[in-house]
Amino acid sequence: MKPIARSPGIDRRAFLSTVALLPALSVSFLPASAPAQTATSGGLLPSWNDGPAKQAIVDFVRATVDRSSPSYVPPEERIAVFDQDGTLWVEHPLYTQVVYCLERVPAVVAKKPELKNAEPFKTVLSGNREAMAKLTMKDLEKILVATLTGMTTEEFNAEARKWIETARDHRWKRPYTELAYQPMLEVLRYLRDNTYKTFIVTGGGQDFVRIYAEKVYGIPPEQVVGTAGGTKFGYDKDGKPFLTKEPKLLLNDDKAGKPEGIHLMIGRRPAAAFGNSNGDRQMLEYTKVGGGARLAMLLLHDDAAREYAYGPAAGLPDSKVGTFTQALYDEAKQKGWTVISMKNDWRRIFAFEGEARSG
Amino acid sequence: MKPIARSPGIDRRAFLSTVALLPALSVSFLPASAPAQTATSGGLLPSWNDGPAKQAIVDFVRATVDRSSPSYVPPEERIAVFDQDGTLWVEHPLYTQVVYCLERVPAVVAKKPELKNAEPFKTVLSGNREAMAKLTMKDLEKILVATLTGMTTEEFNAEARKWIETARDHRWKRPYTELAYQPMLEVLRYLRDNTYKTFIVTGGGQDFVRIYAEKVYGIPPEQVVGTAGGTKFGYDKDGKPFLTKEPKLLLNDDKAGKPEGIHLMIGRRPAAAFGNSNGDRQMLEYTKVGGGARLAMLLLHDDAAREYAYGPAAGLPDSKVGTFTQALYDEAKQKGWTVISMKNDWRRIFAFEGEARSG
């Protein structure tokens, strides 16, 4: 996730951690192409090529579930945490949740016509990407607050669920939920098969990710930790209780907020952590510093043909999303974290590539 | 839990929800006595007498796990939530966590000698119960902040774990962890045997309850929701990351805060909820209003001989802990919640009663 200045103050609007990327709106989309290898073997982690990354995962799991191993981890401590955007699914060129917020603006304005000629809503409605790219952080906060708060949790769930089922990404023309990385889905399953509990720890909105995490990743809502706003309990006119989503930030689950969120929501140090950016650094450090076997992995987006290539660690200019600096890369090497090369370590990236081949 | 004025402001000190009970310090302890019946049968919920309460639990579980039942609940939605103090273990005359905080004062003062002659620490150190009973809410906040924050999460865990292993309650002279209610331990196990996920949703401190919840209740830290303060990520002089417990309230998990906490930490509506006081009212309402079969239960403390009897609903004056008003009792009857009578529904209260009989 893009780093932002951290401020836990209660006045900060919710979900700030996803707003620093507006200029990405003007990024032109790369041409689609999918020269993926189809997985051929039915063995362990079939979408992974043999190599140090796959080996690190398999070695870790084997060492920690083997009772005779000095690195044995008892089942109740088998906690694995995964960043979402850029680690479990595509984050480039825009976080999916930000696309959702922008696309919700017309519906919000329809309900509150007074916003129609007010900024930043007017600019978003114009569809003028160059103008949108110039919106300020303050503008973006207004959009996030207007589209993610002020409704009941049930209304939000219904709206977000409907959107996620119908929206399509611009490059592959597929539901966003199909842009989950097949190799990571295999890792999730492999860990769960070995009685690891898998958690998402995302800078994205907790309520948003919970909408689809169970279906896409097999991760239930109670195992999704994310940037979270407060809710307010109340009763409707029939005395039926409900919760309203408030514009009050409880947890900014990015950077230092990730280990803090892990403590709040999970309450123990993970044995394994997966990330892809500077926003995951503290989570990886916090995981790795525990005693015994600990797995820390970073996904490097270095495959412009099959997905995207971005960031200094990929030898490319920095991206508006998923900053992975050379300094992070160096820290990984120094501390024994494993860097996954999307290009070299992944035989296949998306499940639909296999379909296309066999179809 | 004792109701307190709700204020989600960030300036409120953590764990306020346990402080409104200081006068209880002057309550004299009831004489010990244990005329419990030993469980004789090895059947379902053996520490429960046959009756409407036991029947409600068994009927609920059977209806929700039977695929052919109209009340069937899919496994992933099988969420059951339990208040802790007064529902899973003894809360009278003082919440265990408050005893912990008071007993930690000498150690805190030893580290910070400047507190020795400062109030409220001076009064606590005096051991004068009458003086302690006169401490104000503000005084109590200072005690909670001094004993629950300012240290690393690892230091807190070590201190609290050591205390919980060695401290003894005043009436039974046993570890507090042995004061868990055997009938409720059986319900927890029965629900889990039917693939329900069991959560604690407590007004007590989340970090405190997590220390022993796995051992006592079989509930892992990530399934303990409680009043929670923020933490702050940092590095020690060797660059090793750690978290410091901050005097900043994130979640006041009492009354309306309970459904809010459930949304934050679990993310879906429970199918079953167990409580014992007005502090659990909103959680029970929120649970019961969901569609399909929902179980809502309230434990009434009406057994002065084997445990305690308190509160208007037990025909007694209100207690400083676990307020269970007549209005709550009436709401339960009106809305189809089940009231458990400790006296009539529980054959045995504590596991050690059985030991005593057979030993």
pLDDT in tens, A184-196: 999 999 999 999 9
User: Which residues, in sequence order, are CB contacts of B138 under 8 Å at separation 6+?
Assistant: none
Q: Cα dist. A95→A100, A102, A310, A348 in Å?
A: 9, 11, 15, 22
| Residue A24: pLDDT over 90 | no
| Residue A46: pLDDT over 90 | yes
The shortest CB-CB distance from A263 to any of B76, B153, B265 is to B153
Cβ B282–A241 below 8 Å, yes or no? yes
B61 torsion bin: left (phi>0), alpha (psi -120 to 50), beta (else):
alpha
Q: Cα dist. B155→A180, A285, B159, B215 in Å?
A: 39, 19, 6, 20
The shortest CB-CB distance from B221 to any of A206, A259, A267 is to A267
pLDDT of residue B42: 54
Cβ B241–A221 below 8 Å, yes or no? no
The shortest CB-CB distance from A259 to any of B243, B264, B266 is to B243
Please provide residue B319's backbone torsions phi and psi, each rounded to the nearest 5 degrees. -100, 160
User: What is the ipTM metric for this complex?
Assistant: 0.88
- What average pLDDT does the structure give for chain A? 88
Tokens, residue A147: 């589209």
pLDDT of residue B355: 54
Locate the chain B residue with the closest alpha carbon to A283. Answer: B241
User: What confidence tens digit (pLDDT) does each residue in A286-343 have?
Assistant: 999 988 899 999 999 999 999 999 999 999 998 878 899 999 999 999 999 999 999 9
Cβ contacts of A220 on chain B, cutoff 8 Å: 76, 267
Cβ A231–B268 below 8 Å, yes or no? no
User: Which residues, in sequence order, are CB contacts of B84 under 8 Å at separation 6+?
Assistant: B200, B202, B204, B209, B226
Cβ contacts of B79 on chain A, cutoff 8 Å: 222
Tokens, residue B297: 């239960």
| Residue with more model confidence, A344 or A37 | A344
pLDDT of residue B3: 35
What distance in Å separates residue A101's CA from the closest CA in chain B? 21
The shortest CB-CB distance from A282 to any of B76, B233, B263 is to B233
Tokens, residue A19: 């707003």
User: What confidence tens digit (pLDDT) does each residue in A191-214 have?
Assistant: 999 999 999 999 999 999 999 999
- Residue B276's nearest CA partner among B228, B338, B224, B217 is B338
Q: Supply the DSSP string of B244-275, one letter for each residue.
A: EEEEEEEE--STTHHHHHHHHHT-S--SEEEE
| Alpha carbons B188 and B197: distance in angstroms, whole number | 9
CB neighbours (10 Å) of residue A104? 18
CB A329 within 8 A of CB A313: yes
What distance in Å separates residue A161's CA from the closest CA in chain B? 15
* B267 and chain A in contact, CB less than 8 A: yes
- Residue B122's nearest CA partner among B112, B109, B134, B107 is B109
Cβ A220–B76 below 8 Å, yes or no? yes
The shortest CB-CB distance from B282 to any of A210, A233, A289 is to A233
Cβ B221–A248 below 8 Å, yes or no? no
- pTM strictly above 0.80: yes
Cβ B221–A265 below 8 Å, yes or no? no
Q: Which amino acid is at B211?
A: I
| Residue A76: pLDDT over 50 | yes
Cβ contacts of A216 on chain B, cutoff 8 Å: none
User: What confidence tens digit (pLDDT) does each residue in A225-263 have?
Assistant: 999 999 999 999 999 999 999 999 999 999 999 999 999
Place of tokens 């796959």: A54
Q: What is the mean pLDDT of residues A68-92?
A: 97
pLDDT of residue B336: 95
* B9 and chain A in contact, CB less than 8 A: yes
What distance in Å separates residue B201's CA from the closest CA in chain A? 13
Q: Which stretches in chain B have pLDDT values below 50?
A: 1-41, 356-359
User: Which residues, in sequence order, are CB contacts of A1 under 8 Å at separation 6+?
Assistant: A17, A18, A83, A85, A86, A202, A203, A204, A254, A255, A277, A279, A280, A321, A322
User: Which residues, in sequence order, are CB contacts of A269 under 8 Å at separation 6+?
Assistant: A79, A262, A286, A287, A290
Locate the chain A residue with the closest alpha carbon to B256. Answer: A233
Cβ contacts of B236 on chain A, cutoff 8 Å: none
Place of tokens 């009043």: B227
The shortest CB-CB distance from A285 to any of B197, B224, B241 is to B241
| Alpha carbons A205 and A211: distance in angstroms, whole number | 10
Question: A233, A284, A294: best mutation site toward chain B, by most B Cβ within 10 Å?
Answer: A233
